[in-house]
Structure 1
């Protein structure tokens, strides 16, 4: 009973010291100073990592919560081993000098394999004496209870304030948080804990494999345009497959991207993909089909006559994903007008032909040539011309 009373008194004194407003303000200022020092290391990292080794430029940081502090002083026997006094300032000094992870920092990278690289660069940066008033310990054990390596180290600032630095990839961090809370910080008895450990270990292996696959994809250095096209295909292929009654769609998507390749077209694709990823409804773009002159109408009829309807309809089905065109004939009108715009031929020039002697061979030849040139362009983009 006497020992319990002593421990309760020690706990009360430590918690009062920990929760003191002036002390909290002091620690927050120290945290900001340390963060400023470590941000200089982030700049060093950006200069020394390759383009394939990515980090998040903001450092995560935290001060240990009072609940976590209370649990740790018992779990680590600090409550018995620390020389707790009745002086609040002495107890605050005791906490900052002896609680290893009192202040915590995390440097986050994209990929698992880069953790060790960053750890070694931090060691180099430290050995070059670039950190002011900071002592780091690179000799401590990095093996966790689960058998995995964690790239972390402890330090001391101004010979007084203890802190810890962790270097983790996104997936490692996510897995670690789940494992820590469900396995090692689970407050309730769990008869299935052994099974949970096996499951979390399997998830660890899956995430590591996924991390490697993501790295392989990242190293291929896809351009933004290629990524957008791939995502657009993934988000629409089921719809288009049902309408086209085939799942062999690569040729038709290639035709679509080859033909509708302007910056305005890609902006539409980008918007559609963004809305799809956010699971929001996309508002299709209105198209202007007013003031269609005879040249557009004639080109449309030529396209209908000379190109396979199946190919054109597949192009229509893909286009209506982003354009407010719900009829095939309207799409052909839009396509004809689009081709005129892309060809650079001025439709106003066409009006000059109207009223001229239609038997003038030079005029007839010029009219036929520019339309044939547009048809050749369309064939190069989408194929499927019947005369081929």
Structure 2
């Protein structure tokens, strides 16, 4: 192998490395955004809608196999144009309403461009799969240019994530046709997980109402009297009633 061939191999290797690295950097960028949202929400509301996150970067082998299955050209340009899920981020939330809350917060980020949104919560897949899918472009600042890199964001509840993880394990590399009985049982399990999500959403709403009422009572108790210049003053009962109506 001559020096020219060695140089060509190094160039190809560097191009592939740089190509894959930009997807990793895009994941780093959006994961940082999620962490900021999580910490801010926790600090302001003593609660976070985000339970945990998980990132995934497809291997080059997996990318090439998918490219081959789709019948696309074998090039970096073709990969970028036709494979949109090279970089993936999964966000797991506690409650159904949290999934939409997190989706809305992400879509409001001015430097993220939302390419596509698929709502598999309102419109589950036939097998029962539920999740919110966002395809977003993340700006990645490299040494000599800025590249907008696609990242697929999946937002789901704990119950949805549990079902999807087990479904994947059950059918991973399953090369034969899946028996109808198993498909029906899997769909029934998805329905059970969905019922659990709605039940927990109702419970969370009821608990929040109780917390809000207690907070209101505590605020009124504080208003019944106040201190000024080391003297304690009591508010008239009539004024308290007026304040109650305004709350």
Bin the TM-score by the shorter chain. Answer: 0.5 to 0.7
Determine if the alignment matches structure 1 residue 30 to structure 2 residue 21: no
1:202 shift after superposition: 0.9
Partner of 1:340: none
In structure 2, how many angstroms separate the alpha carbons of the residues matched to 1:107 and 1:214?
18
Partner in structure 1 of residue 102 of structure 2: 118
Distance 1:68 1:113, change over 3 A: farther
User: Which structure exhibits the higher relative contact order, with contacts defined as CA atoms closer than 8 Å and separated by 6 or more residues?
Assistant: 2
Length, aligned pairs only: 188
Cα RMSD, aligned residues only: 3.7
Give 1:105's aligned residue. Answer: 89
Aligned partners of 1:149 and 1:18: how far apart in 2? Answer: 39
Give the aligned partner of residue 198 of structure 1. Answer: 184
Where structure 2 has 5 or more consecutive residues not aligned to the other structure, the ranges are: 1-11, 140-146, 211-247
Over 3 Å counting, the alpha-carbon distance change for 1:157 and 1:216 in structure 2 is: closer
State the match for 1:189 in structure 2: 176
Change beyond 3 A, Cα 1:179–1:19: farther
Equivalent residues in 2 for 1:1-388, closer than 5 Å? 20-43=16-39, 46=42, 54-56=49-51, 58-75=52-69, 77=70, 80-82=71-73, 84=74, 91-123=75-107, 125-126=108-109, 129=110, 132=111, 134-140=112-118, 142=120, 143=123, 144-146=125-127, 149-158=130-139, 160-183=148-171, 185-190=172-177, 192=179, 194-215=180-201, 219-220=206-207
Q: What do residues 2-30 of structure 1 show as CA deviations (whole Å, max 9, x unaligned)?
A: xxxxxxxxxxxxxx879944544443333
Instruction: Provide the secondary structure at the position in 1 that maps to 2:32.
Output: helix
Q: What runs of 5+ residues in structure 1 fail to find an aligned partner?
A: 1-15, 85-90, 223-388
Q: Tell me the CA shift for residue 174 of structure 1.
A: 1.2
- Which has a greater percent of helix? 1
Aligned partners of 2:91 and 2:158: how far apart in 1? 10
Q: Secondary structure at the match of 1:81?
A: coil
Q: Normalising to structure 1: TM-score of the pair?
A: 0.40
Q: Distance in 2 between matches of 1:140 and 1:18?
A: 35
| Greater per-residue strand proportion | 2
Point out the structure with max Rg over C-alpha: 1
1:64–1:146 distance in 2 versus 1, CA, 3 Å: same
